[in-house]
Chain A
């Protein structure tokens, strides 16, 4: 077998320009975690079914396990590490804590990223809309109740400020 050629890519990650080398077969998730040290994004299935690896790519939520790293040249990626403004948590992060909307926490990065993308587009979602939008994110600990409440509460707070 020939040695795989590495590709050189430049992208914006959480507002910072980054460059990296990767193999053509590596997913964005692998590169985020193993090459760029951003382990906040989690792998739950690697088949796009659980949403734990959700990131915002330009303005869309994607499963980073289904995106090849080679596809992100010149694009903008937001991960869970990019939600807070320094030590100032995003309202969604704060509301997840206040509502006890996480237990083991491994699905939490994906939920926060997916919820951020929802609220960017729809600042006043109904409960049903939140449930629909987050249906691609699996949580096995909470039964979703407190997650839905946290998202609705964060949306309300963000509208009022």
Chain B
């Protein structure tokens, strides 16, 4: 079914824009919601994973005999139990995956490439017995020198992670030489040299950002059972059940029809649950033992061995004229991919200057392997690192020419038609509207006030851009005989998308939202649906829901026409019922049509599938933040925070605010506290929540959300994705606030007390 958003004039909504209580809410406040670790099956065994104590080592031997002899141990697997997988790129959801690398990440083959890399797994009658058995598996290693830092990894004499890796897009003369640099990508528009020649002020700086983790509170988990005919069923915490099915099939060499994946209730993901770790191990152990098997990661496992996002080293040079025109930007970005290629560096390069209309741009992006865990997506992957660099230079340039930084941004704001560095032009976007909202905000005009003694106050602002994704979704709406509706999608719900989808169905069908029951189905019970990622569910799954509702309406019209024995052109669906256009006052409500469906042709089920690539609306976000800097200790406190975001149309404003506030606080953590700390040998030293320090309630003020609605013309309700862009601006906004307070520019994340103190001591 096609969707033409232009066919209807802007309309008054009955459900959209209200704040109903989430359908999954009661289960979640009473403890009834079933998350992956809560799943239990008769005869369940528990698994444990043996992980590498080294950052880089060759596996010489694995001896499982002592573990196998422990009473209660039922199965042990190593990489020898995984089939060989071809080295190639497989399109998947937002990006692509190399199944061979994926397989080697799930169980190390010849080498371990990071501290915590899985080497073997065991299933036993209790978690304690499984852990004991894991400790009895003897792995002999030849320890190799690790390389932890992105710049060190790019050096000619760096230890090499993959002997067969060559640099794509690199110097053809080095085509035969192994490298840790997996890919070099260059983007360029305009004439950068001419742009700098036209500038009155030029600033060039380098920035470093630390590797950080998504920090979802629920660790990864998987429960699998394998029937005697080889049919496997998996329950797990994932952002995409179809992705789990696809990736497990790749790694295990199974047809998709042999795998059924149930997405359990998910305890946070933020991009980190878009790949697989435990799922194939649970399947292998279940197959080998003949019992269902549950695997649950410890927090240490999560931090050491799942995908954080890249640390990075970024150089940016920008020029501006005295009257405030940004003339050129030239940047190079090197991101840690982790143990296998695939950092979000290209996306960082594409997003970096996208809030601005700058004619002359050049970006060079390096994807670099290091002996750290393979990175995974994290909320607007790649964009936050890049914005930290670019947005602080814009702030500094503004101060240099004596212009208000917000005004400089507004003057250079990207608009519809502005080209981005990678070629495409912006569609209708709300960048300028967002900046104007920030300028008009209460926060912008509120006095900063003075702090006591060594404490200094400052205010900063930054923006961020994120593409958002469209991708594929399916939806079905079954009209129940009592006139209620059951809505089924395949999108795991993290931020409230079950309810936002139910609201769209309710809006279209004229039903109260409480009478639309949304559920998230397993891979055998709904059509293919891509990952909950790219801020795409309310946009794309929402579009499928909208289209499925049109299908229901069409069927309701048919049923009414059949009842009245008239032509379908002689009836019209309106506000929860069908009117006759020929018999005045003749009307059948949805409930009446539902009740009589058995007599008019059978059950009424609407369905739709979409690939929403053309419907994507990109997102801009901004943060205005006040900080207090203790100039004696270097501690930075956020004292006031306002977040701005162009959301297109807020289907459920409270959930939109939740995305804005949650992303803002993750960004604050990234800015001030969070980082992976490795020792020289590559051991992760802070593999727990005590010293991987995420923000707590006491660290923060209220986060005031300002929703800006510049409708996305390619969506029936004007929706833009809202999930990710909120994380992009905070580190730069806070850096700008620290500079405003103290005059010191901190060029490394996190801006922890020692780094702030160091910047204070070296300030000009």
Interface string of B120-160 (1 = CB under 8 A from A): 00000001100010000000000000000000000000000
Q: Are B219 and A43 in contact (CB under 8 A)?
A: yes
Known: A38-B31, A81-B31. Contact between A50 and B217, CB under 8 A?
A: yes
Q: Which one, B29, B214, B666, contacts A102 given CB within 8 A?
A: B29
A61 nearest CB across to chain B (Å): 14
Say if the beta carbon of B37 comes within 8 Å of chain A. yes
Q: Are A49 and B31 in contact (CB under 8 A)?
A: no
Q: Which secondary structure dominates chain A's binding surface?
A: loop
Q: How large is the interface on A (under 10, 10 to 19, 20 to 34, 35 or more residues)?
A: 35 or more
Q: Are A142 and B662 in contact (CB under 8 A)?
A: yes
Known: A103-B494, A143-B662. Contact between A44 and B218, CB under 8 A?
A: yes
A37 nearest CB across to chain B (Å): 9
Known: A42-B35, A106-B35. Contact between A145 and B702, CB under 8 A?
A: yes
Inter-chain CA distance A96–B128, complex, in Å, is 36
Interface string of B562-595 (1 = CB under 8 A from A): 0000000000000000000000000000000000
Chain B residues within 8 Å of A105, by CB: 24, 27-29, 33, 265, 267
Say if the beta carbon of B178 comes within 8 Å of chain A. no
Inter-chain CA distance A25–B127, complex, in Å, is 11
Inter-chain CA distance A131–B695, complex, in Å, is 12
Inter-chain CA distance A84–B474, complex, in Å, is 36
Known: A46-B299, A141-B658. Contact between A79 and B694, CB under 8 A?
A: no
B532 nearest CB across to chain A (Å): 11
Chain A residues within 8 Å of B28, by CB: 102, 105, 108
Q: Which one, A83, A109, A134, A140, contacts B694 given CB within 8 A?
A: A140
Chain A residues within 8 Å of B70, by CB: 1
Q: How large is the interface on B (under 10, 10 to 19, 20 to 34, 35 or more residues)?
A: 35 or more
Known: A138-B689, A141-B495. Contact between A52 and B700, CB under 8 A?
A: no
Q: Are A80 and B30 in contact (CB under 8 A)?
A: yes
Q: Are B696 and A103 in contact (CB under 8 A)?
A: no
Chain A residues within 8 Å of B31, by CB: 38-41, 79-81, 109
B496 nearest CB across to chain A (Å): 6
Inter-chain CA distance A49–B30, complex, in Å, is 22
Known: A49-B688, A134-B697, A139-B217. Contact between A97 and B703, CB under 8 A?
A: no
Q: Are B697 and A137 in contact (CB under 8 A)?
A: yes
Nearest B residue (CB) for A134: B697
Say if the beta carbon of A107 comes within 8 Å of chain B. yes
Q: Kindly identify, within residues 312 to 327 of chain B, every residue whose CB is under 8 Å from any CB belonging to chain A.
A: none
Known: A134-B697, A148-B697. Contact between A103 and B26, CB under 8 A?
A: no
Nearest A residue (CB) for B655: A100
Say if the beta carbon of B698 comes within 8 Å of chain A. yes
Say if the beta carbon of B268 comes within 8 Å of chain A. yes
Q: Are A100 and B217 in contact (CB under 8 A)?
A: no
Chain A residues within 8 Å of B690, by CB: 47, 49
Inter-chain CA distance A142–B697, complex, in Å, is 10
B70 nearest CB across to chain A (Å): 8
Interface string of B260-280 (1 = CB under 8 A from A): 000001111110000000000
B302 nearest CB across to chain A (Å): 9
Q: Are B697 and A141 in contact (CB under 8 A)?
A: no
Known: A41-B31, A105-B33. Contact between A98 and B700, CB under 8 A?
A: no
Say if the beta carbon of B32 comes within 8 Å of chain A. yes
Say if the beta carbon of B38 comes within 8 Å of chain A. yes
Interface string of B1-37 (1 = CB under 8 A from A): 0000000000000000001011011111111111101
B77 nearest CB across to chain A (Å): 23
Inter-chain CA distance A127–B664, complex, in Å, is 20
Q: Which one, B19, B25, B268, contacts A140 given CB within 8 A?
A: B268
Chain B residues within 8 Å of A127, by CB: 702
Say if the beta carbon of A158 comes within 8 Å of chain B. no
Say if the beta carbon of A36 comes within 8 Å of chain B. no
Known: A33-B37, A81-B30. 16 other contacts (CB 8 A): A25-B128, A44-B219, A47-B689, A93-B30, A97-B25, A97-B29, A102-B29, A103-B658, A104-B218, A105-B27, A108-B29, A135-B696, A140-B270, A143-B661, A143-B665, A144-B697
16 sampled A-B residue pairs with Cβ under 8 A: A25-B128, A40-B32, A43-B219, A44-B217, A44-B267, A46-B298, A47-B688, A84-B30, A100-B19, A100-B496, A102-B28, A104-B269, A105-B24, A107-B217, A146-B661, A149-B702
3 tightest Cβ-Cβ pairs between the two chains A and B: A40-B31, A106-B267, A105-B28
